[in-house]
Protein backbone atom coordinates (compact mmCIF):
# COMPACT_ATOMS: atom_id res chain seq x y z
CA UNK A 1 0.00 0.00 0.00
CA UNK A 2 1.30 3.44 -0.94
CA UNK A 3 -0.11 6.62 0.53
CA UNK A 4 -3.72 7.26 -0.43
CA UNK A 5 -4.32 4.04 -2.33
CA UNK A 6 -6.84 2.06 -0.28
CA UNK A 7 -8.17 1.20 3.15
CA UNK A 8 -6.69 -1.88 4.86
CA UNK A 9 -9.01 -4.85 4.61
CA UNK A 10 -8.23 -6.34 8.02
CA UNK A 11 -7.73 -5.10 11.57
CA UNK A 12 -6.38 -6.52 14.81
CA UNK A 13 -8.39 -5.46 17.85
CA UNK A 14 -6.43 -5.95 21.07
CA UNK A 15 -9.04 -6.97 23.63
CA UNK A 16 -7.47 -9.70 25.77
CA UNK A 17 -6.23 -7.63 28.73
CA UNK A 18 -7.27 -8.19 32.33
CA UNK A 19 -8.54 -4.66 33.03
CA UNK A 20 -7.25 -4.69 36.61
CA UNK A 21 -7.40 -0.91 37.01
CA UNK A 22 -11.12 -1.00 36.20
CA UNK A 23 -12.00 -3.18 39.18
CA UNK A 24 -14.53 -3.76 40.69
CA UNK A 25 -16.40 -3.30 37.39
CA UNK A 26 -14.16 -5.85 35.66
CA UNK A 27 -14.67 -8.47 38.36
CA UNK A 28 -17.66 -9.65 36.33
CA UNK A 29 -17.29 -8.04 32.90
CA UNK A 30 -14.28 -7.84 30.56
CA UNK A 31 -13.01 -4.30 30.13
CA UNK A 32 -13.86 -4.07 26.40
CA UNK A 33 -17.53 -4.61 27.32
CA UNK A 34 -17.65 -1.83 29.93
CA UNK A 35 -20.28 0.63 28.67
CA UNK A 36 -19.34 4.24 27.95
CA UNK A 37 -22.06 6.61 26.74
CA UNK A 38 -24.44 3.74 26.12
CA UNK A 39 -22.24 1.26 24.29
CA UNK A 40 -19.38 -1.09 25.14
CA UNK A 41 -15.87 0.28 24.76
CA UNK A 42 -15.01 -2.20 22.03
CA UNK A 43 -17.92 -1.04 19.89
CA UNK A 44 -16.41 2.43 19.55
CA UNK A 45 -13.44 0.92 17.72
CA UNK A 46 -15.41 -1.69 15.81
CA UNK A 47 -17.91 0.93 14.65
CA UNK A 48 -15.02 3.12 13.46
CA UNK A 49 -13.62 0.18 11.48
CA UNK A 50 -17.00 -0.60 9.94
CA UNK A 51 -17.57 3.05 9.03
CA UNK A 52 -14.15 3.23 7.37
CA UNK A 53 -14.97 0.19 5.25
CA UNK A 54 -12.83 -2.47 6.93
CA UNK A 55 -14.60 -5.80 6.34
CA UNK A 56 -12.80 -8.06 8.84
CA UNK A 57 -11.54 -7.64 12.41
CA UNK A 58 -9.60 -10.20 14.43
CA UNK A 59 -10.31 -9.83 18.15
CA UNK A 60 -8.17 -11.62 20.72
CA UNK A 61 -9.82 -12.88 23.91
CA UNK A 62 -8.51 -14.16 27.24
CA UNK A 63 -10.19 -12.81 30.38
CA UNK A 64 -13.90 -13.78 30.56
CA UNK A 65 -13.49 -14.93 26.98
CA UNK A 66 -16.92 -16.56 26.82
CA UNK A 67 -18.65 -13.24 27.49
CA UNK A 68 -16.54 -11.57 24.84
CA UNK A 69 -17.35 -14.21 22.23
CA UNK A 70 -21.08 -14.16 23.03
CA UNK A 71 -21.22 -10.40 22.62
CA UNK A 72 -19.13 -10.26 19.46
CA UNK A 73 -21.40 -12.82 17.80
CA UNK A 74 -24.17 -10.21 17.89
CA UNK A 75 -22.29 -7.82 15.57
CA UNK A 76 -22.92 -7.79 11.83
CA UNK A 77 -20.06 -5.55 10.70
CA UNK A 78 -17.18 -5.90 10.54
CA UNK A 79 -16.94 -9.67 10.33
CA UNK A 80 -15.34 -10.91 13.55
CA UNK A 81 -12.70 -13.64 13.82
CA UNK A 82 -11.80 -14.70 17.36
CA UNK A 83 -8.16 -15.28 18.25
CA UNK A 84 -8.28 -17.46 21.37
CA UNK A 85 -5.72 -16.72 24.10
CA UNK A 86 -7.50 -18.52 26.93
CA UNK A 87 -4.47 -20.69 27.71
CA UNK A 88 -1.94 -17.86 27.79
CA UNK A 89 -2.16 -14.09 27.63
CA UNK A 90 0.23 -13.10 24.83
CA UNK A 91 0.54 -9.31 25.33
CA UNK A 92 0.12 -6.85 22.47
CA UNK A 93 2.62 -8.10 19.88
CA UNK A 94 2.25 -11.75 20.86
CA UNK A 95 -1.46 -11.52 20.21
CA UNK A 96 -0.85 -10.06 16.78
CA UNK A 97 1.70 -12.74 15.88
CA UNK A 98 -0.84 -15.43 16.86
CA UNK A 99 -3.44 -13.78 14.61
CA UNK A 100 -1.23 -13.18 11.55
CA UNK A 101 -2.74 -16.05 9.49
CA UNK A 102 -6.08 -14.19 9.61
CA UNK A 103 -4.65 -10.75 8.92
CA UNK A 104 -3.18 -11.41 5.49
CA UNK A 105 -0.07 -10.22 3.68
CA UNK A 106 -1.06 -6.55 3.28
CA UNK A 107 -0.87 -3.71 5.84
CA UNK A 108 -3.55 -3.90 8.53
CA UNK A 109 -4.98 -1.75 11.30
CA UNK A 110 -4.26 -2.26 14.98
CA UNK A 111 -6.88 -0.92 17.40
CA UNK A 112 -6.81 -0.94 21.19
CA UNK A 113 -10.19 -2.05 22.52
CA UNK A 114 -10.04 0.19 25.60
CA UNK A 115 -9.43 3.58 24.00
CA UNK A 116 -11.45 5.48 21.45
CA UNK A 117 -11.73 8.84 19.77
CA UNK A 118 -14.10 11.40 18.36
CA UNK A 119 -13.28 12.10 14.70
CA UNK A 120 -12.93 15.54 13.24
CA UNK A 121 -14.26 16.30 9.77
CA UNK A 122 -12.73 13.09 8.36
CA UNK A 123 -12.44 9.54 9.71
CA UNK A 124 -9.08 9.21 11.43
CA UNK A 125 -8.78 5.65 10.14
CA UNK A 126 -9.20 6.90 6.59
CA UNK A 127 -6.59 9.58 7.30
CA UNK A 128 -4.20 6.90 8.54
CA UNK A 129 -4.73 4.92 5.35
CA UNK A 130 -4.21 8.00 3.21
CA UNK A 131 -0.92 8.80 4.97
CA UNK A 132 0.55 5.29 5.13
CA UNK A 133 3.38 4.77 2.65
CA UNK A 134 4.78 1.25 2.80
CA UNK A 135 7.87 2.30 0.83
CA UNK A 136 9.01 4.38 3.83
CA UNK A 137 6.97 3.15 6.78
CA UNK A 138 6.75 -0.10 8.67
CA UNK A 139 4.36 1.34 11.25
CA UNK A 140 2.21 4.48 11.22
CA UNK A 141 0.75 5.43 14.61
CA UNK A 142 -2.20 7.69 15.22
CA UNK A 143 -0.97 10.17 17.83
CA UNK A 144 -2.61 12.90 19.86
CA UNK A 145 -1.26 16.10 21.36
CA UNK A 146 -1.92 16.34 25.12
CA UNK A 147 -4.60 18.97 24.51
CA UNK A 148 -6.59 16.46 22.45
CA UNK A 149 -6.56 13.79 25.16
CA UNK A 150 -9.03 12.98 27.94
CA UNK A 151 -8.15 10.53 30.72
CA UNK A 152 -4.43 10.36 29.97
CA UNK A 153 -2.11 10.86 32.93
CA UNK A 154 1.34 10.19 31.45
CA UNK A 155 3.93 12.62 30.07
CA UNK A 156 3.76 11.52 26.46
CA UNK A 157 5.12 8.69 24.37
CA UNK A 158 6.91 10.21 21.37
CA UNK A 159 8.25 13.31 19.71
CA UNK A 160 7.65 13.80 15.99
CA UNK A 161 9.77 15.57 13.39
CA UNK A 162 8.48 17.54 10.41
CA UNK A 163 8.35 14.43 8.23
CA UNK A 164 6.39 12.51 10.83
CA UNK A 165 9.19 10.26 12.12
CA UNK A 166 8.79 9.33 15.75
CA UNK A 167 11.32 9.08 18.56
CA UNK A 168 10.75 8.19 22.19
CA UNK A 169 9.76 11.25 24.21
CA UNK A 170 12.26 13.01 26.42
CA UNK A 171 11.94 16.42 28.03
CA UNK A 172 14.71 17.87 25.85
CA UNK A 173 13.57 16.38 22.55
CA UNK A 174 10.49 18.42 21.69
CA UNK A 175 6.73 18.46 22.21
CA UNK A 176 5.11 15.23 23.43
CA UNK A 177 2.64 13.12 21.50
CA UNK A 178 0.55 10.27 22.87
CA UNK A 179 -0.01 6.99 21.07
CA UNK A 180 -3.77 7.13 20.55
CA UNK A 181 -4.50 3.42 20.23
CA UNK A 182 -4.76 3.03 16.46
CA UNK A 183 -2.11 2.22 13.86
CA UNK A 184 -1.36 0.70 10.49
CA UNK A 185 1.43 -1.88 10.39
CA UNK A 186 3.00 -3.82 7.56
CA UNK A 187 3.13 -7.55 8.41
CA UNK A 188 6.80 -7.72 7.39
CA UNK A 189 7.47 -6.21 10.82
CA UNK A 190 6.67 -9.60 12.35
CA UNK A 191 8.69 -11.75 9.94
CA UNK A 192 10.41 -14.48 11.91
CA UNK A 193 8.69 -13.49 15.16
CA UNK A 194 8.55 -16.22 17.79
CA UNK A 195 5.41 -17.37 19.57
CA UNK A 196 4.77 -16.31 23.14
CA UNK A 197 4.12 -13.13 25.09
CA UNK A 198 5.81 -9.99 23.75
CA UNK A 199 5.09 -6.28 23.65
CA UNK A 200 4.55 -4.03 20.65
CA UNK A 201 7.04 -1.65 22.22
CA UNK A 202 9.94 -3.83 21.06
CA UNK A 203 8.70 -3.45 17.47
CA UNK A 204 8.22 0.30 17.90
CA UNK A 205 11.81 0.57 19.11
CA UNK A 206 13.12 -1.52 16.23
CA UNK A 207 11.23 0.66 13.76
CA UNK A 208 12.65 3.79 15.40
CA UNK A 209 16.14 2.38 14.94
CA UNK A 210 15.36 1.76 11.26
CA UNK A 211 13.71 5.19 10.76
CA UNK A 212 10.45 3.48 9.79
CA UNK A 213 8.18 4.43 12.72
CA UNK A 214 5.97 7.38 11.76
CA UNK A 215 3.12 9.25 13.37
CA UNK A 216 0.02 11.06 12.16
CA UNK A 217 -1.57 13.61 14.46
CA UNK A 218 -5.23 12.74 14.69
CA UNK A 219 -8.13 15.12 14.19
CA UNK A 220 -10.67 15.51 16.97
CA UNK A 221 -10.40 14.11 20.50
CA UNK A 222 -8.88 10.98 22.02
CA UNK A 223 -10.33 9.35 25.13
CA UNK A 224 -8.94 6.65 27.36
CA UNK A 225 -10.92 4.99 30.14
CA UNK A 226 -8.47 3.34 32.50
CA UNK A 227 -10.36 3.53 35.79
CA UNK A 228 -14.03 3.63 36.86
CA UNK A 229 -13.73 7.35 37.61
CA UNK A 230 -12.66 8.01 34.02
CA UNK A 231 -15.98 6.78 32.63
CA UNK A 232 -17.86 9.87 33.75
CA UNK A 233 -15.16 12.17 32.42
CA UNK A 234 -15.30 10.52 28.99
CA UNK A 235 -19.10 10.63 28.94
CA UNK A 236 -19.08 14.35 29.80
CA UNK A 237 -16.72 15.03 26.88
CA UNK A 238 -18.90 13.01 24.53
CA UNK A 239 -22.08 14.75 25.71
CA UNK A 240 -20.49 18.14 25.09
CA UNK A 241 -19.74 17.13 21.49
CA UNK A 242 -23.33 16.16 20.67
Strand order across the 108-112 sheet? 79-84, 56-61, 10-14, 108-112, 178-185, 139-144, 213-217
pLDDT in single tens digits along all 242 residues of the chain: 545 458 999 999 999 988 888 888 888 989 999 888 889 999 999 999 999 999 999 999 998 999 999 999 999 899 999 999 898 888 889 899 999 999 999 999 999 988 789 888 889 999 999 999 999 999 999 999 988 887 666 677 898 998 999 999 876 667 889 999 999 999 999 998 888 888 999 999 999 999 999 999 999 999 888 788 888 888 888 887 75
150 domain residue, yes or no: yes
5 domain residue, yes or no: no
| H-helix or E-strand spanning residue 233 | helix 228-241
CATH number for the domain including 69? 3.90.550.10
2 domain residue, yes or no: no
78 domain residue, yes or no: yes
213 domain residue, yes or no: yes
Which pLDDT tens digit goes with each residue over 13-39? 999 988 888 888 888 989 999 888 889
1 domain residue, yes or no: no
Which pLDDT tens digit goes with each residue over 102-125? 999 999 999 998 878 988 888 999
Could you tell me the residue range of the domain that residue 166 belongs to? 10-241
How many domains does one find in the chain? 1
3 domain residue, yes or no: no
Q: How many Cα atoms sit within 13 Å of 120 on the Cβ side?
A: 10
Q: Are 97 and 167 in contact (CB under 8 A)?
A: no
Amino acid sequence: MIAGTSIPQTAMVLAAGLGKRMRPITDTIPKPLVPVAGKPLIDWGLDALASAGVPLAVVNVHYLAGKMEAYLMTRAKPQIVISDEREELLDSAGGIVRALPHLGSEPFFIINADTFWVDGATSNLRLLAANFDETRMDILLMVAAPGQATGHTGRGDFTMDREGRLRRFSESAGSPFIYAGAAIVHPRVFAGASDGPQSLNRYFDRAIAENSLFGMQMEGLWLTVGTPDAIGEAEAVLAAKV
